[in-house]
Structure 1
Amino acid sequence: MSVAPRRFTSRRAVTILLHGALVAAAVLTLSPFLWIALASLKTQIALLMGTVTFKPVAMNYSEVLFGNTSTFTRNFMNSVIVASVSTIIALGVGFLAGYSLLRMRWPRAVVNLFLLWAVVFNLVPPVTLAGAWYEVFRLVGLTNSLTAVILAHTTLHLPMALWLLSSFLREIPNELEEAAVVDGAGFVRLMRRVVVPIMMPGLVSTGILIFIFSWNEFPVALALTNNQSATVPVGIAKFAQENEIKYTQMAAASVLSAIPALLVLIFCQRFIVKGLTAGAVK
């Protein structure tokens, strides 16, 4: 009679410990973001003095958005263009390349080597490629342009798109495509009516990852841009000036720069969950 209550008590203890660990992990993860958000509402003096209780001010956001010397609005639009275009290109090329690897009659060794190259390329620090890209783009006349950053970001994130989309493509049964071909569907119709709808959660989740990585990329954008073409991370770094570091304005710009990623995650959460759990249950 006493076995059941003991089991119930042990399960409850495990559940409490698990939830406690999750809450502690959430607190540790969110603490830096909370500190930055609070710093953006302080004056520079209050932040440097470590004031705990303070009166919130909005002048940091006003200076970042409307200041005479601030270029954050231009940097924000540059990041939107770079992240959006590079994500679309990487998704399109990665999808077609993954479909070719898995559906065309390539030797198995070629497929494995190509996917292995995609993994190895992701291990290369982007900063090691920045110098070579700068020289190439200088020779072709694309120095300090958004086109150069878009091409560089597409190259950086294409291997990840190829690897992830190939994993999602493996989950699509060949019988579905064969049945569509038997019914007279051409390649374009096959992609539009069969493959892409099934792949949509994977495409969206992969696109979100690429967008966020492109939005936050710093060393390559720093090497390839100037004041006119700088992206958000480069613009935030410019608040650290020679004689002064504008911590509070840097914090305000950081909070503003996180808004697009948060909006994408909120509105596309359903696709992210489907994409991450695809193939887990059959």
Structure 2
Amino acid sequence: MKSRSLGRAVSTLTIWLYAAIILVPMVWVMTNAFKYKIDIITGTVFAPITWSNFEALLFSRQSNFASALANSAIVSGTATIVIIIMATMAAFTMTVMRVPNWVRWSILGWALLFNMLPTLTFVGSWYLMFASADLTGTYFALITTQIVNLLPIALFLMMSFMASLPPELIQAARMDGCAYDQVFWKIAFPLVRGGMIATTALVFIFSWSDFAIALTLSNSDTMTAPVAISTYAQEFEIRYGEMAAATLLTIVPAITLILVGQKFIVRGLLAGAVK
């Protein structure tokens, strides 16, 4: 009993410590976003609340953060839609249809190997490739590289969801005369909808928070939010308040997507279980 209680206490302490590691920086950013610069520098805990950081961030003529948020939405949204469509179709093809095992495992091995390598390994090559075609600083370059970078992990996840479908259900549909496109839309798609939403949320968050690709391939017109945040750390001045406000505005869409997506993920999984 004592060893069990001790193990439970250690587990609880570990969970709270992990939560603190994640939450304390977020709370620090949130509080600094509503402080004056002098209060941030002096470390004042209880300081007057101000909206000046958000006003300078969104309405100042010198700030382009609003356009950076729009760029992030365009790049991340477009890339996520293309990735989910490609990953879902490919996962269905390799899992449900008769594909040789060596082909399936070769693609999975490639996806795993690609995700093990850091993104910075490929950024230099991508820059040279797009620079030679005069495409640096374009949405095409940013969206294409995001697709290439995140498609393997989306494919890996969607294949695991497709593999969980009951083979008997697929076989019964085929025996009833359903073509593979009917099997996909009427059977596979409803059952893996929760997995698709989970994969969509994960891919969007990865693309939304990307810094290395956007820093290398974007310019002032296509700059995304993470790159725009880095510009507030200047050579002779660090604009702490505006940087904190920008960070807060950047994490809001990701957190909202997670909170909203959880409900649909559970609903989709339960619907699949009932069917």
2:59 corresponds to 1:62: no
Q: Report the Cα distance in structure 1 between the residues aligned to 2:132 and 2:211, rounded to whole angstroms.
A: 22
Confirm or deny that 1:142 pairs with 2:135: yes
Aligned-partner residue type, residue 56 of structure 2:
E
Are 1:97 and 2:90 counterparts? yes
1:183 aligns with 2:168: no
Structure 1, residues 122-143: CA drift from partner, whole Å, max 9, x if none?
A: 1221122122112222333422
In 1, Cα distance between equivalents of 2:261 and 2:149: 23
Quick one: distance in 2 between partners of 1:175 and 1:169?
13
For 1:16 and 1:274, how far apart are their aligned partners in 2? Answer: 33
Pairing 1:104-123 to 2, within 5 Å after superposition: 104-123=97-116
- Which residues of structure 2 form unaligned runs of 5+? none
Q: Contact 1:64–1:253 (CA<8 Å) still a contact in 2? A: yes
Deviation string 1:68-91 (CA, Å, 9 cap, x unpaired) is: 111111010111111111111111
Cα distance change on mapping 1:236 and 1:108 into 2, 3 Å: same
Q: Normalising by structure 1, report the TM-score.
A: 0.89
* Alpha-carbon displacement from aligned partner over 1:248-274 (angstroms, at most 9, x marks no partner): 100100000011111111111134457
CA deviations on 1:52-76 (whole Å, 9 max, x unpaired) are: 2211111001111111111111010
Write the distance in 1 (CA, Å) between the matches of 2:100 and 2:193: 28
1:237-248 mapped onto 2 (5 Å cutoff)? 237-248=230-241
Shift of residue 16, structure 1, vs aligned partner: 5.5
Deviations 1:133-186 (A, max 9, x none): 122223334221112111100100000011111111110012212222233323
2:21 is the counterpart of 1:37: no
Secondary structure, counterpart of 1:209 in structure 2: helix
1:254 to 247, 252, 255: 247
Could you say which structure has the larger radius of gyration?
1
How does the TM-score come out when normalised to structure 2?
0.91
CA distances 1:198-222 after superposition (whole Å, capped 9, x unpaired)? 0101111011000000000001111
- CA–CA distance in structure 1, aligned partners of residues 109 and 268 of structure 2: 22
Structure 1 residues 276 and 26: alpha-carbon distance in aligned structure 2, compared to 1, 3 A threshold: farther
Alignment RMSD: 2.5
Separation in 1 of the partners of 2:163 and 2:45?
53
Give the superposition deviation at 1:239: 0.9
- Going from structure 1 to structure 2, the CA distance change for 1:180 and 1:33 (only over 3 Å counts) comes to same
Offset of 1:11 from its aligned partner?
A: 6.4
Of stretches 242-251 and 207-216 in structure 1, the one that deviates more from structure 2 is 242-251
CA contact (8 A) 1:82 1:149 kept: yes
C-alpha separation in 1, matches of 2:239 and 2:116:
34
Q: What is the number of residues matched between the two proteins?
A: 273
Partner of 2:154: 161
Q: Which runs of 5+ in 1 are unaligned?
A: 1-6
**Does the aligned pair in 1 maintain the 2:75–2:143 contact within 8 Å?**
yes
Identity across the alignment (%): 35
2:114 matched to 1:128? no
